[in-house]
Structure 1
């Protein structure tokens, strides 16, 4: 018998001498789980820091690539960090309440990003999660659950601020990223949400491992409260006890891989197989966009890259188009077909998922054949497996037996010297289906979507600008900003540096480090030296200066300017470089080879204003450092050869208030 065949000859040549495996797609026995969407995560932390500083034309294009429906990634979910004044991977994000009497819903850039996403897609779902908490929440401890009602009220104030200040509805709320959960707190949070009119906000717990399932099985009240079980980096697998429990399962943070073609392959594999293997109905990428300095931890771990706002350059990476294979042809609320009736592993390697619209009028099928070495994620380890070219037949039954045509989209990955020959998200138009049968010849390392929807588009803008070096000389008086803004190009690693209006009218705006008490950290190590980096990590010979003033009340004890700073992120505490500290009350300076000042190069007396402003300047050229305060040279000395290069930075010797103004930096060769 000769079967009617849909020949997709443009996709790949048929696999000769290979029998065709048949896969049934049939809704007669019902459906699998509800699909909850594909998302991206901004934060955890400061991963979108540089995006807000892009020129508007390029910034709008980037946002379209991420959020605009039927254009590119077309994300269903945007997850953001609820800032907690502490380092949370690539920087610190500001809290809406630095202290109990403080309340501000305009700090940072996540509010802006949430609104830009919602502007492009009113149906996008929003998800908030704290990584850290301001210190007053723990009242001297590192425990945010010390007073569950206090913490719940703090978090719900953020939900309320989203609505009242920005007209944003937060759909999902997490507990504490990758840290222990507390059942009493989760119950208190639910009661507080309900009491304040946010009963529609659903709880995801616990953004870590599977352990909360055990508590849900023992506590029916908890089970009713937790709407989604969110885990991180599950390797596409979930334990049987989690599947049996019945709550929707999410990979609420995943990917975290360099966004080259192997990273794109990782993303293609897990977006499909998180459901095929683990029944996880949502997968969220950490991170949304790699918009932080590449020398900080986990470089280029976003769906796309935008790390040089001064040039306007950005790169649309392969994960954007991998995402489009699912997001442009599904929506949250669609339904997976049952396993072996539209959802399965492929006999020759790879996987297939099929999803139907709520009214069952539309069908989307996504197949991936990513090979092991071309789809390795950063975590967890990937067990060996093989993929080979294969012929398959899709047999459409039930409600789908009368489908007469489908639209076809294909991405084909190449690697190594052939990477440039990759072809992503190409439309092959509409093709006919005869008698409910589709024959495909699948190559290795490709993603194919077949769908009844005609709305797909490979959106494109003209190529972004060429990359350019960070502009030098560079200066910032901070006068061009409104209050509570992080100035362009600075990337706070410890502490929170916000623009404030100076009491001195001649100064206008200034930059103030505002954290006065150690926060409840997310990082393993206590980070107690506020530091704010800027520039190009490859810089070696640099000159930097800044005016600084330490208030008498709640002030830090010392301030610094530094060059060749070699560390950021959770390892900021061990940063090496050339650090020039001044201590006004002690009337002394310290030149050190590291942030923690355990490697002192030189120290001595200095004539410093105790409550007024001091200008500190540091010049490094080869192995010589020259430092001055208020125009008076304090040292001209030899410094260690290492580190040879790094960021420029300003910062403090301890938490406490301190003001900065008139920041300047240039290459040492440009110093007269």
Structure 2
């Protein structure tokens, strides 16, 4: 690689910066001087083989809602994910091998709930893989486990049982017409050398050409072990590490290790991402290039593939795009789609990087990075450039030689800093090199692709508007859904699947299928199966279901399901629990799985293998329990004002449900007016009366202005009207001192507020109260530990 640096302009800029600094001080960030970088793209130069750009379906039910989308929206979203020359154009898909256990934001059902029965039609991963292959026949697949049913290895994942379990899953893949190209071990749970050796020998013995990826955890320590253990080295084909650029970071530096690079094995960033589909696009743009430049990693795999999960879950906006309203068909194509497309649409696995044409602009990573890849036949090439951190325009001067095409170059760009979709994946004017040379001016905050390939494009499908899921709603489970999970239900532990009804009832019912606690990936203190569905804006309703006890135990109806703790470590919800012996209770849980019994008692024994109708009514602050039409009791509680509904079993019993229904209650009061503080003459106010996303919310002097008029309803405070922006805890923060602002309403728990009898206004997601920090009305409002005696936390809603 040859760098040409224009020393005089750089020197002048440096001297000028010194003079400005002497006059103005050094408080402001200093802009980087404009640079000129020369890149020689030589087809004879060496580089590692490119293995692809991919994403992960799994590690927590993140694809769950996609299968329930209506057509044509479902197909359009799939096109944006997998169709070459259309959207993200993913070249690789990693699939979770379901284990009936929560694996971040949900549980994937196993194909073997018990040792003696294989079911190749559980879940939705097979469907998704088939759809991906139909759009891109060249797509590669990997299998990876986050957990496994409890019977495998008697609870020991690193066992021959688990290998045999994987082989049965491979058999299911064959039945679905799928070839599994790669397989890993236990996601982010270390590695066992003997297990990987046995896995490899089993694959070979069964005639599979599947390659083994390890360790699928953090760091590169397995490379050290492989260097000392020849048999382990032979067993592992790819060294895969998670988040080599750092976890939930800006992904500015992405190293591997010297031992890993010297191993001769492909190195992969086999899980990256965990970032918002729009806000994380800059980091993803950096990582796709820098994984190779810094660490010689030849595959980038994003977690997850799509955010097709409910907004009350921790990673609800991560992935290529968002699809969380199957009833309306609404979706959002994220910026991450387009920064991914800048590599995936212009390359193919099997291409080769050109090391000498990959590096940092001007030799400084703060200017941005570039990588070049050439096709298998050495004719076409693509150079991908990112300028995420640049503060000034730059120039690149390219020289093409070594058998690569010197013909017309197509230029594509995305302005990642722009919030407008028109600036995503734009084809610019072609460039015709002269004597194999050409130049391009680069703007800050952009991704560019310079390519001799053709066939790229930006999908043109548009989303319908979002809409609430109206009540009443019912499901008798007799009408087949798109999968064995009933429409819109998402499991958080265990596996709720439609089966023939027991107890003498005909038709189809919903059964919890996992008979024992699985080998778990998460470490939540409350390990029990439950599933929920619906719209987080629901407030007053009655949820009913018929329940049958196949075994001794307790079933539950869930109401006002709100924010879930990360990795299922808690849930804001009300629970009506009924046991086969007649014991019942209404309980409240929070995002740490602290349960509070609100009321309870005992009714007639319900027995086994008999059907009973259970009903749970939530009307404003009154919660009422009924069984078989008999009211058992009620209680008043102010904690949760709105949320979804669900079903659960408090242990791993195979209980059944039927005739799930939701009927609306009476509307809650809705008002528009000033929200006053107990501090003298102080009202809740949008700063400067603005109504844009990110506007700070303060406690201003009451003046009856538009910026102090709030609509109250459904647990939300909206500025100006029932369609205004919501009072929102920034970034869904839950910590003491997290600031409060205006943001577009999205149904998240960080936008739900629960008035308490003591006058405090409690955040549904955090459990903390809206407060004027230090009673200083000039500062942005925050959430704090609730203190009913503090005037700066007491509010009066109109």
- Same fold? TM cut 0.5: yes
Q: Provide, for residues 234-289 of structure 1, a one-character-per-residue CA deviation record: whole Å limited to 9, x for no partner.
A: 102212222122211101110110111x3221211111111111111000111101
8 A Cα contact 1:88 1:569, kept in partner: no
Confirm whether residue 157 of structure 1 aligns to residue 154 of structure 2. Answer: no
Equivalent position of 2:183 in the other structure = 173
CA distance in 2, matches of 1:38, 1:17: 33
| Paired residues for 1:397-436 under 5 Å | 397-400=401-404, 403-415=406-418, 419-420=419-420, 423-436=423-436
- Are residues 18 and 295 of structure 1, via their aligned partners in 2, closer, same or farther at CA, if it must alter by over 3 Å? closer
| Paired residues for 1:335-350 under 5 Å | 335-338=352-355, 341-347=356-362, 349-350=367-368
Rg larger in 1 or in 2? 2
Equivalent position of 2:137 in the other structure = 122
Confirm whether residue 390 of structure 1 aligns to residue 373 of structure 2. Answer: no
Quote how far apart the aligned CAs of 1:556 are: 4.9
Confirm whether residue 659 of structure 1 aligns to residue 668 of structure 2. Answer: no
CA distance in 2, matches of 1:33, 1:126: 21
Equivalent position of 2:516 in the other structure = 517
List runs of 5+ in structure 1 lacking aligned partners: 4-14, 372-385
Equivalent position of 1:249 in the other structure = 267
Quote how far apart the aligned CAs of 1:359 are: 1.0
Equivalent position of 2:586 in the other structure = 591
Aligned-partner SS, 1:116: helix
CA distance in 1, matches of 2:61, 2:71: 20
- Are residues 661 and 19 of structure 1, via their aligned partners in 2, closer, same or farther at CA, if it must alter by over 3 Å? closer
8 A Cα contact 1:86 1:93, kept in partner: yes
Quote how far apart the aligned CAs of 1:573 are: 5.4
8 A Cα contact 1:484 1:500, kept in partner: no
CA distance in 1, matches of 2:139, 2:421: 33
Confirm whether residue 196 of structure 1 aligns to residue 211 of structure 2. Answer: no
Equivalent position of 1:64 in the other structure = 79
Equivalent position of 1:231 in the other structure = 241
- Are residues 394 and 571 of structure 1, via their aligned partners in 2, closer, same or farther at CA, if it must alter by over 3 Å? closer
Equivalent position of 1:466 in the other structure = 465
Q: Provide, for residues 76-97 of structure 1, a one-character-per-residue CA deviation record: whole Å limited to 9, x for no partner.
A: 0011100011000111101111
Q: Provide, for residues 313-335 of structure 1, a one-character-per-residue CA deviation record: whole Å limited to 9, x for no partner.
A: 11111111211111111100000
Equivalent position of 1:582 in the other structure = 578
Aligned-partner SS, 2:200: helix
Equivalent position of 2:486 in the other structure = 487
Quote how far apart the aligned CAs of 1:211 are: 1.4
CA distance in 2, matches of 1:517, 1:212: 32
Quote how far apart the aligned CAs of 1:22 are: 1.6
8 A Cα contact 1:556 1:655, kept in partner: no
Q: Give TM-score, length-normalised by structure 1.
A: 0.89
- Are residues 404 and 575 of structure 1, via their aligned partners in 2, closer, same or farther at CA, if it must alter by over 3 Å? closer
Of residues 484-493 and 652-661 in structure 1, the stretch that sits farther from structure 2 once superposed is 484-493
Equivalent position of 1:186 in the other structure = 196
Equivalent position of 1:533 in the other structure = 532
Q: 4+ residue runs of structure 1 moved beyond 6 angstroms? A: none
List runs of 5+ in structure 2 lacking aligned partners: 5-30, 246-253, 669-798
In structure 2, which of residues 304, 318, 321 is the aligned counterpart of residue 301 of structure 1? 318
Larger RCO (alpha carbons 8 Å, 6+ apart): 1
Equivalent position of 1:263 in the other structure = 280
CA distance in 1, matches of 2:429, 2:572: 56
Q: Give TM-score, length-normalised by structure 2.
A: 0.76
Equivalent position of 2:771 in the other structure = none
Equivalent position of 1:374 in the other structure = none
In structure 2, which of residues 602, 607, 610 is the aligned counterpart of residue 605 of structure 1? 602
CA distance in 1, matches of 2:152, 2:91: 32
Aligned-partner SS, 2:47: strand
8 A Cα contact 1:528 1:573, kept in partner: no
Equivalent position of 2:561 in the other structure = 565
Confirm whether residue 352 of structure 1 aligns to residue 345 of structure 2. Answer: no
CA distance in 1, matches of 2:504, 2:70: 30
Q: Provide, for residues 438-473 of structure 1, a one-character-per-residue CA deviation record: whole Å limited to 9, x for no partner.
A: 211111111111111122122222x22111102211
Equivalent position of 1:315 in the other structure = 332
Confirm whether residue 144 of structure 1 aligns to residue 151 of structure 2. Answer: no
| Paired residues for 1:2-151 under 5 Å | 20-28=36-44, 30-139=45-154, 141=155, 143-145=156-158, 148-151=159-162
